Amino acid sequence: MKKICRVVCQLSLLLALFLTTTVSAQSSFEQWLDEFKPVAGQQGVRQATWDKAFAGISEFDAKVLEKANYQPEFTTEIWDYLDSRVNPISISRGLQMDRVHDETLSAVSDKFEVRRSVLLAIWSMESNYGEVLKRPERLHYVPQALATLAYADPKRRKFGRSQLVAALKILQAGDVHVEQFSGSWAGAMGHTQFIPTSYLAYGIDMDGNGKRDIWNSIPDALATAANLLHKNGWRTGKSWGYEVIVPSGSGKLEGQTKLISEWQKLGFQRPAGRAFPRPGEKAVLKLLAGDAGPGFLMMRNFFVLKRYNNADAYALGVGLLADRLAGYPGMVQTWPRPPESLNGEEKIELQKLLKKQGYYDGEIDGSLGKGSRAAIAEFQRKAGVNPDGAPSKSILLLLRK
């Protein structure tokens, strides 16, 4: 009996400590807001704007901190990252959007001299052609999210503070209402996911209604993306880069810059006998999967794409998807995937078969997240195999049967 009482007392103490810590953290957040308010005021944010933005906000957004520790561009294998972004679904949807928004894409492309397929690829990568904006459960209230980073994330404190001030200036300008002021955990907003400072620097009123609105206006969103690329040195009519066959023992050359003609002399060639259109241009060698994977000679436009998102995987994804949307063939070489792993098309087939057989009710997108893995585990239990939820060629073969 004494042992039970001791356990109950310990649990009660732990619960009290947790509640005290939580209340203390939230009250500290309120204190932080009070302290930062005059700082924002010194940078041009009016008190009425602050009060409107934080009316009823007394707690930080804990989900922001969870997501801040997981960024797929830097934590996911390159082939898995690309599978979920450059696949038959994203290509088909992009071609559909190209037809639906033909006039807008032509106008934006002509004005900023950025190929329409690149704009479509960015739109796809950033918000799945706007579909993400229809999922409020995946979005965050931007001022609260940025205040959370500024208050509770040591690595992003400076970022959170500067972006919060910029976000409040956007609200103050009347470009967005509080009710629609949503974005990612890091404050990226609208169809083309601009952080507040970039929005202020590159935002465009393309539809001519007197305000910039990347949440509701597709012309404004695409023009804002094109303006960022244009102002950062986009080279009209030039490629982002080329897939190349890497000669054995050339891994030590990664990161070096040479003329394409010099790379050719070292044995680097495009697969399938394709030619380099401009051998006199400079290119940087990137090996995103190490020596065992395909190589890429990256041009100036690749690094302009990284001004949008500073990750090699992201820029490569945009480039590859843009090429497919423009009618060019995809990659020829394969990634060094582990045995039993699925490629992009097989992942989509897996989801479709799971849905057809009643195990999966999520989105068919080739991204095998928690929902897909739970469905795989349920199928495995019914099939009498270890329900680890891991996608594999063996599981796909069982589903096909």
360, part of any domain = yes
- Indicate whether 376 belongs to any domain: yes
Exposed/middle/buried for 25, CB within 10 Å: 0-12, 13-18, 19+? middle
Residue numbers of the domain that contains 379? 344-400
User: 100 lies in a domain?
Assistant: no
**pLDDT tens by residue, 186-244:** 999 999 999 999 999 999 999 999 999 999 999 999 999 999 999 999 999 999 999 99
Q: Give me the pLDDT at residue 16, please.
A: 39
The answer to whether residue 384 is domain-embedded is yes
- Whether 374 is covered by a domain: the verdict is yes
- 12 has a pLDDT exceeding 50: no
Structure confidence at residue 241 (pLDDT): 98
- In 3D space, the residue among 39, 38, 37, 17 whose CA is nearest the CA of residue 29 turns out to be 37
The mean pLDDT value for 389-394 works out to: 95
Q: How many structural domains compose the chain? A: 1
Fill in the DSSP letter of residue 154.
G
Answer yes or no: is 378 within a domain. yes
Is 145 in contact with 155 (CB distance < 8 Å)? no
Q: Is residue 394 in a domain? A: yes
- Rg for the chain (alpha carbons), in Å? 24
Question: Per-residue pLDDT for 40 more than 70?
Answer: yes
pLDDT single digits (tens) 79-99: 999 999 999 999 999 999 999
Asked whether residue 358 is domain-assigned, the answer is yes
pTM: 0.89
Those residues whose C-beta lies under 8 Å from the C-beta of residue 182, and which sit 6 or more positions away, are 133, 136, 139, 140, 141, 142, 189, 215
